[in-house]
Amino acid sequence: MIKNLTSILDFGSSKITILVGVGDVNKSFRLISSADCEYDGFLKGEFVDTNNVQQAISKALSKVESELNFKITELFVGVPAEFCYVYDDFLTKTFNKKTKITNKIVDDLFLNDREDNPYTTHTIINKAPLFFIVNDDNKTNDPVGLIANKLQARTSYVLVENQFKILVSGILDGLGVKHYDFLSNSLAEVLYLIDDYKRNEGAIIVDCGHLTTSVALALGAGIKELKSFSLGGGHITSDLSRVLDIEFEDAECLKCQAILTLNPTGAEFYETDSRRKFGVKNVNEIILARIDRIVEMIKKCIDSFEMDLPKFLPIYLTGGGLNLFEGISDYLRKSVDRPVELISPKALLYRKPDLSSSISLLNMAINL
């Protein structure tokens, strides 16, 4: 049996994923085992079928345990943005005399935080500094080594809905998982997918999945703003199926072939696995109509952020909902009037946008 294994449970909007990995050199990791199980997902902050959630977790857990030949009793649970809330506040430390800031002083500032959560419906699961202020006038991302009479940390808190926590805790207890902690999917993605220097200036990360999309504003080592809405790539497939009167599988096949930058003359077509042909122009119009709606919601989320975000600040797009479309970055750039960069996990073996959430969670859990 391999020692020091770490396991995570990730709730996608179409499937539940369990990954088991082990830490490696330079804060990297090796994936030891994985299992997926499709389920009904969640919409508007609620699971479609809670019984279906229990069954999917049980199946995924059984697959991994069978492959590894041992019982998983410890698990880190990723919490999707639709079940999270973010707020920020200042932590303050004053000194009787001028003091050189050390790592221990910074660590103690967070360890001594009383975490006065003002929201009775939610529980704090993550906290991280957005930035520090030394002596009221020196804003920095790293105060260590500076001389100060006063140190403040603008701190981001990510909270999970208690109903989500109670439901998942009950399921895991029933499956014999004795120890579990909850982590923010969005924070895990921010820290793993976006470099420090980009986050320090503010970074917008959009994760568009099957049924849901999250929009996070990263700042420093935390999340300043977090929004979500129930639209994703699955709605595009559903539109194709409904408008063209075809099976869901054929609609998914058409979606995967779509090239958004094409300017069809009317003679071009896409072909499904069942050999049915559909005009490129018609298919693209259906797809773009839904993408435009998703873009509209993304812009609405960004416009609601309190920070003034310069237009040169890019959107980092990940997730399996939109990234598969050839030409999506150019189309979005024109629609949102910002640069758009497609991102995915850094590890070569897992460089797929639909793996961003689960791989980021595993990386966070291993390096806690």
Per-residue pLDDT of 64-114, as tens digits, reads 999 999 999 999 999 999 999 999 999 999 999 999 999 999 999 999 888
Predicted confidence (pLDDT) per residue in 235-255, tens digit:
999 999 999 999 999 999 999
Provide the sign of the torsion angle of the four alpha carbons 91, 227, 299, 320, taken in this order: positive
- At 117, give phi and psi (nearest 5°): -70, 120
Q: What is the pLDDT of residue 294?
A: 97
71-104 b/e (C-beta count within 10 Å ≥ 16 → b):
ebeebbbbbbbbbbebbbeebebeeeeebebeee
Q: What is the pLDDT of residue 270?
A: 87
Q: What is the pLDDT of residue 180?
A: 97
Is the pLDDT at 262 greater than 80? The verdict is: no
Structural domain boundaries of the chain? 5-82+162-196+344-366, 85-160, 227-342
Which positions ≥6 away from 348 have C-beta within 8 Å? none
With beta carbons less than 8 A apart as the criterion, state whether 71 and 176 touch: yes
pLDDT, average across residues 256-266 = 79
Average pLDDT, the chain: 93
Q: What is the pLDDT of residue 101?
A: 96
Q: What is the CATH number of domain 85-160?
A: 3.30.1490.110
Q: What is the pLDDT of residue 336?
A: 92
| pLDDT > 70 fraction of the chain, expressed in percent and rounded | 98
User: How far is 295 from 317, CA to CA, in rounded Å?
Assistant: 12
- Which CATH superfamily groups domain 227-342? ATPase, nucleotide binding domain (3.30.420.40)
pTM: 0.93
- Whether 227-342 and 85-160 are alike in CATH topology: the answer is no
Q: What residue type is assigned to position 279 of the chain? A: G
Residue 40 binned pLDDT confidence (cut-offs 50, 70, 90) = very high
Among 1.20.1730.10, 1.10.760.10, 3.40.50.300, 3.30.420.40, what is the CATH number of 5-82+162-196+344-366? 3.30.420.40
Is the pLDDT at 349 greater than 90? The verdict is: no
Q: Are strands 74-79 and 179-184 parallel, antiparallel or unpaired?
A: parallel
Q: What is the pLDDT of residue 60?
A: 96
Q: What tokens does 318 get?
A: 């990940």
pLDDT, average across residues 336-363 = 92
Closest Cα partner for 205 from 338, 29, 359? 338
User: How far is 342 from 194, CA to CA, in rounded Å?
Assistant: 11
- H helices of the chain, where? 50-68, 103-111, 162-174, 185-193, 196-200, 233-244, 248-257, 280-304, 328-336, 356-366
Q: What residue type is assigned to position 326 of the chain? A: E
Q: What is the pLDDT of residue 266?
A: 66
| Residue 356 exposed, middle or buried by CB count within 10 Å (0-12, 13-18, 19+) | buried
Q: What is the pLDDT of residue 1?
A: 58
